[in-house]
Structure 1
Amino acid sequence: MREIGIQEIEDIALGAALLGAGGGGDPYIGKLTAIQAIKEHGPVKLIDPEEVPDGAFIMPAASMGAPTILTEKGVGANEFAKLFDMVSRYYGKPVYATMPMEAGGVNSMVPIAAAARLGIPMVDADGMGRAFPELQMVTFTIGGASASPMAFIDEKGNSGILDTVTNKWTEDIARAATMTCGGTLTIALFCMDAETCRSFGVKGIVTRSEELGRAIRHAKDRASEAGLTPEQYFLQFAGGHKLFKGKISDVLRETRGAFNFGKVVLEGIGEDKGSQAYVEFQNENLSCVVSGEYLATTPDLICLVDTETFMPVPTDALKYGKRVLAVGLECFDMWRTPAGLELVGPRYFGLDTDYIPVEKRSARKEG
C-alpha cells in the first residue's frame, strides 16, 4: 500500500495517456478532476490486488463517451456518491475499493477522484492495460465476468442501473443512453470480488503508468546519463517499437454514435522522408499503415508522441503540421489469445488483416 498525491497524479495521467493509445480522454481534464478531489479530501491509498481482503467488493469507476465531448463537459464532483450508493444498495454490500477499468488520460483519473471523495482505496489493476472503445472489451469478459448490473449517472443527475444478458448488450444500451445524455456518462461496471480481480486483472497498471509518466518527463536528462539519445531512451524504457516519424498532413475526424472516428495522415521526416503513413482510430488508434503495409494493429498499442518531448498526442489533439513519432507497444498477453482477439482483434474493427504481433511486424520493416 502507498499513497497517491498530486505529484503521483501528474505522472500517472501522463503515463496513462501513452497507454491510452490515442484514446482514454485528455490527461489535462483527468488531472483537474483528480487533483481537485485530492485537495479537498487528501491522498488516496493505492493497494495491490493481493491486499484486497477475500470477499471484499470492488466497484470500478469510469467515464463513457467520446473523448472530444468529454473535453468540453468534464467530469463532475458530485456524481460518485450517488453512483456508489446505487451500486451498494443494489448488491446489499458496502464498496470496499474502486479501480480503473482502462488506462487513459481521464479513465485513469476518475477512480482516483472517486476514491478520494468516498474515502476508499484504489486497486492497482485494470481490465485492459491500455484503452479500448467499447466497455465489453476487458479481460474480465474473457474471464466470464458480467459488466452488469451497471450503474450510470450524468452531470444533470439522470441515473439508473442496467441489467443485461451479455456484456455487448450492456455496451449497446449504455452507448444509447450516453448519446441521449449528451455524449458522456460516469459509470460503475464489472463490480467484482477480490478473486476475480486477481485472476483476470492487468496488475500493476497504475504503477506502470506512473513510471512511464516520470520517464517521459525526465527523458532528456536520463538519456544523457545513459549515453542514449532521448528517443532511444524513451523507446527502451517504454518497450516501444518505432513505426514511423512524420508530420501530420491531414486529419479526418467525426463523432458518430458517441465515438470519435478518424484517420491521420503522416508525411515522413528524417529517416522516413519520402514515405507516407496513416493511422486509423475509433477513440483509440487501431492500425498504423506505412507505405501500404500494416506495421501494427489492435490489440497492440499504437501511440503517437511528440518527436521532441515524447508527450502523448491523443486523437482529439491531432493537428495539421505537428511532428509525431508513431510507436507500437506490446499488449497484455491475454489479448493475444483466441478469446482476446475475438473481442479486440483487427477484424472486429473491420480491418482486412489477421493479427500479427507488433514486434514481428516492425522487425520485418527493420530487416
Structure 2
Amino acid sequence: MQQLSIDDIEDIARGAGILGTGGGGDPYIGKMLLAEEYRRGSVATLMDPDELADDALVVASAFMGAPSVVMERIPSGDEAVEALRVLERRLGRPVTAVVPMECGGLNSMIPLLVAAKTGIPIVDADGMGRAFPELQMETFGVYGVSGSPIAICDDRGHSVIVDTGSDNVSMERHARGVTIRMGGVAYIAEYPMSGADLKRTAIPRTLTLAQSIGKAVATAKSMNRSPLEAVTDCCANSIYGHARLLLEGKVVDVARATSGGFVSGTAEVRAFDDSRSVTLTFQNEHLIAREGDRVLAIVPDLVSVLDIETGLAINTESLRFGQRVHVVGISTPPIMRTPEALQVFGPAAFGLTEPWTPLEDIGVAAGALP
C-alpha cells in the first residue's frame, strides 16, 4: 500500500482530467476538498489490486449527474461518505476498500476523498478506463457484477436505495431519475463486489497511470517541453498503448445543453490555417471526433481536448470560443474492446451509426503526430 501525498493528488487530478475525455466532472473541486482533508491530518492510501483479498468487499464510489451542476452546488465532501455508510447498512457488513467508478475528472477525486475521510484504502483500478455518462457502462457490469444495490445521497442529507437485481440498465434509469429529483447531482456507492470480482473485471492501475500522466505534463511545462508529447509517451507505455494528435487549432463553435441529467452538444475545432476542421460530439464526455464525414476517433476510445500551453484538459462544460487546443485520441485497453464491452459502451450504445474502428487502425490525420 502507498500513502498518497498532496503532490500525488495534484498529479492524479491533472492526469485524470485528460483520461476523463471531457467529462467525469472538473477535478478541481475534488482536489480542493482533498487538500482541506489533508490539512486536517487525513491521508488516502492506495492499494494495488493484487493486494486485495479475494473475499474483500469493494464498493465503487462516485458522483452522478450533470458535471455543470456540481459547479453550482459544490459538495461539502461528506455526501459520498454517507452513501457508502448507507450501502454498508444495507449489506450488513463493512466495506474493505473503495474503487473509482471511472478514472476521469472529479470521479477520480471523490473515492480518494472517501478514502481519506474514512481510512478505507482505495484500489488502484476503475470500471471505465475513462469517463462514461451512464452507470451500466462499467467493466464491472460488462463481466457479470450487479450494480445493485446502489445508495444515492444528496447534499441535504437525503438518501435512497435502488435495487434492480442484475438489471444494470434499469438501475441507471431509476438512479438517474432520483438524481434529477435531487437537483441534478448526487453521490453514490454502487457495484458491491468481492475482491476476486474486482481483480477479474476492473481496469488495473489507472490511478497510477493518471498520476504518471499528470506528473509528466507538469514536468514538461517546467522544462519548456511539449506537454502533448508527455501525454502520448505515457499512454504509449501503458495498457492503453497508443495516443495521437488529431488536430491543433482553435475552438470556433460550441453548442451544448443540460437535459435529462447530462450535458450534451457539439464543438468545432478549426486548424489555425483554416485547412482542417474537426467536430466533436459529446454526452458529458466526448464520443466521436469527425473531420467532415471521416471518423478520427470514436467511443470507447478516448477523445480529449487539451490546452496547447499547459497540457491541461478542458471539460465539455468549459469549452468556449477562442481556446487554443490540441484534440487528442487515446486508445483503450483490451478489456474495453471485447464484443461484450462494445455492446454496452460502443458507438451504438450512444445512438451513433458509425462502426467502432480502433484508433490505431484509422490512420494518421494530416498534420498529426505518428
Taking structure 1 as the reference length, what is the TM-score of the superposition? 0.94
Matched, 1:52 2:49: no
Report if the CA contact (8 A) 1:275-1:290 is conserved: yes
2:87 is aligned with 1:87: yes
> What's 1:171 paired with?
172
SS in 1 for 2:364: helix
Quote the offset at 1:58 in angstroms: 1.1
Count of aligned residue pairs for this structure pair:
361
Contact 2:84 2:188 in 1 (8 A): no
Matches within 5 A, 1:115-264: 115-165=115-165, 166-221=167-222, 229-239=226-236, 240-264=243-267
CA contact (8 A) 1:243 1:362 kept: no
Q: Aligned partners of 2:275 and 2:49: how far apart in 1?
A: 49
In structure 1, the residue matched to 2:14 is 14
Residue range with higher mean Cα deviation, 84-93 or 315-324: 84-93
Tell me how far apart the structure 2 counterparts of residues 232 and 119 of structure 1 sit (CA, whole Å). 36
Distance 1:57 1:233, change over 3 A: closer
Displacement of 1:215 in angstroms is: 0.8
Contact 2:30 2:113 in 1 (8 A): no
Equivalence for 1:275: 276
Aligned in 2, Cα 1:232/1:88: closer, same or farther, shift over 3 Å? closer
Task: Look up the equivalent residue of 2:259 and give its one-letter code.
Answer: R
Q: Which residue of 1 aligns with 2:336?
A: 335
Counterparts in 2 of 1:231 and 1:78: CA distance versus 1, 3 Å: closer
2: CA distance, partners of 1:119 / 1:38: 12
CA shift at 1:269, angstroms? 1.8
Q: Which amino acid aligns with 2:235?
A: A
- What is the CA-CA distance between 1:43 and the residue it aligns to? 1.4
CA distance in 2, matches of 1:130, 1:62: 13
Q: Which residue of structure 2 aligns with residue 308 of structure 1?
A: 309
- Structure 2, unmatched stretches of 5+, are 237-242
* Pair 1:27-2:24 in alignment: no
Deviations 1:28-85 (A, max 9, x none): 1121122222222421111111112231111221000001011111222332443222
Counterpart Cα distance in 2 of 1:187 and 1:234: 30
Secondary structure, counterpart of 2:275 in structure 1: coil
- 1:223 is displaced (CA, Å) by 7.1
Q: Does 1:100 align with 2:103?
A: no
Q: Which whole-Å deviations, capped at 9, do the CAs of 1:292-312 have from their partners, x for residues lacking one?
A: 311100000000001122111
1:178-213 CA-to-partner distances (Å, cap 9, x unmatched) read 110000000000011100111111110111111110
Question: Sequence identity of aligned pairs in percent?
Answer: 38
Contact 1:41-1:116 at 8 Å conserved across structures: no
Q: Deviations over 1:131-182 (max 9, x none)?
A: 1000110101111100000001000111021110400001000101111000
* CA distance in 1 between partners of 2:233 and 2:78 (Å): 41
Q: Quick check: 2:63–2:80 contact (8 Å CA) kept in 1?
A: no
- C-alpha displacement of 1:361: 1.1
- Indicate if the aligned counterparts of 1:223 and 1:233 stay in contact, CA closer than 8 A: no
1:4 aligns with 2:4: yes
Cα distance in 1 for residues equivalent to 2:359 and 2:43: 38
Q: Counterparts of 1:278 and 1:82 in 2: how far apart (Å)?
A: 40
User: What is the CA–CA distance in structure 2 between the aligned matches of 1:96 and 1:40, rounded to whole Å?
Assistant: 23
Q: Which amino acid is 1:235 matched to?
A: T
How far apart in 2 are the matches of 1:325 and 1:148? 39
Note closer, same or farther for the CA distance 1:346–1:331 as it changes in structure 2 (3 Å cut).
same
Q: Give the secondary structure class of the aligned counterpart of 1:348.
A: helix
In 2, Cα distance between the equivalents of 1:119 and 1:208?
A: 23
Report the Cα offset of residue 364 of structure 1.
Answer: 6.6
Q: CA deviation at 1:260?
A: 0.3
Aligned to 2:112: 112
User: Over the residues paired in the alignment, what is the CA RMSD in angstroms?
Assistant: 1.7
Amino acid aligned to 2:269: L
Does the 8 A contact of 1:38 with 1:113 survive in 2?
no
Partner residue in 1 for 2:323: 322
The 1:230/1:203 distance shift into structure 2, 3 A limit, reads closer
Q: TM-score, normalised by structure 2?
A: 0.93
SS of aligned partner of 2:263: strand
Aligned partner letter, 2:42? G
SS of the residue aligned with 2:106? Answer: coil
DSSP 3-state at the match of 1:264: strand
